[in-house]
Amino acid sequence: MKLEVGNRKSEGSDLKLRTFQFGLRCVRLADALPQTRSGSAIGKQIVRCGTSVGANYRAARRARSRAEFVAKLGIVEEECDETLYWLEMIEALGSMKFESLKPLMQEADEILSIIVTAIKTTKSKPLSK
C-alpha cells in the first residue's frame, strides 16, 4: 500500500497506514463535535491522543533497540486507550450517537489489541547473540 502525505509517497506497513488513517478520523470527529466548551476541550484531547497513536507508532518503527521499541509501543498503547476514553466520554455526554462512534471505537480496540500483542511478543523473544 502507498501512503500519500502531501506530495510524498512512502511504502508503509498496514499498521502504519491504519494508525495514520485513525488519526485523520479522530481529527474529523473532533471537527464534528458541537462548538461548546466541553466539545472544544474533548475535541482537543481526541486530536492530541488520536494523532499520537500514529506518530508514536512511526517512532517505534525507528527504534534503535528492543527496549526503545517496547517503550514507544507502550506510548502507542496508552494513547490509543486514552482515545477510547474520550470516545466513551463523547457517547456518555450525548454529543454523538454510539452508532457514529462505533466504527472508530472498533478501530481503536483493534489497534490496541495489535499493539498489546506486539509488546508481549517482543518481550517474550529471546535476545539474539
Q: For position 24, which CATH number holds?
A: 1.20.1440.60
Candidate from 1-5, 26-30, 99-103, 121-125 with smallest mean pLDDT: 1-5
Cell 489489541 belongs to residue: 113
* 117, pLDDT greater than 80: yes
In a domain, 4, yes or no: no
Residue pLDDT, tens place only, 95-113: 999 999 999 999 999 999 9
Question: What pLDDT band is residue 13 in, cutting at 50, 70 and 90?
Answer: confident
User: Residue 110 has which C-alpha cell?
Assistant: 483493534
Question: What pLDDT band is residue 129 in, cutting at 50, 70 and 90?
Answer: low
User: Residue 79 has which C-alpha cell?
Assistant: 494513547
Residue pLDDT, tens place only, 30-67: 999 999 999 999 999 999 999 999 999 999 999 999 99
**What is the C-alpha to C-alpha distance for residues 5 and 7, in angstroms, rounded to an integer?**
6
Question: What pLDDT band is residue 11 in, cutting at 50, 70 and 90?
Answer: very low
Domain count, the chain: 1
Q: In the chain, where do the E strands start and end?
A: 2-5, 8-11
Cell 502504519 belongs to residue: 16
In a domain, 5, yes or no: no
pLDDT of residue 1: 39
User: Residue 90 has which C-alpha cell?
Assistant: 463523547
In a domain, 78, yes or no: yes
In a domain, 3, yes or no: no
Is residue 74 packed enough to be buried (19+ CB in 10 Å), middle (13-18) or exposed (0-12)?
middle
The dihedral through the CA atoms of 74, 87, 99, 31 has a sign that is: negative
Q: Range of 28's domain?
A: 11-119
Query: What are the backbone angles phi and psi of residue 7, rounded to the nearest 5°?
Result: -95, 0
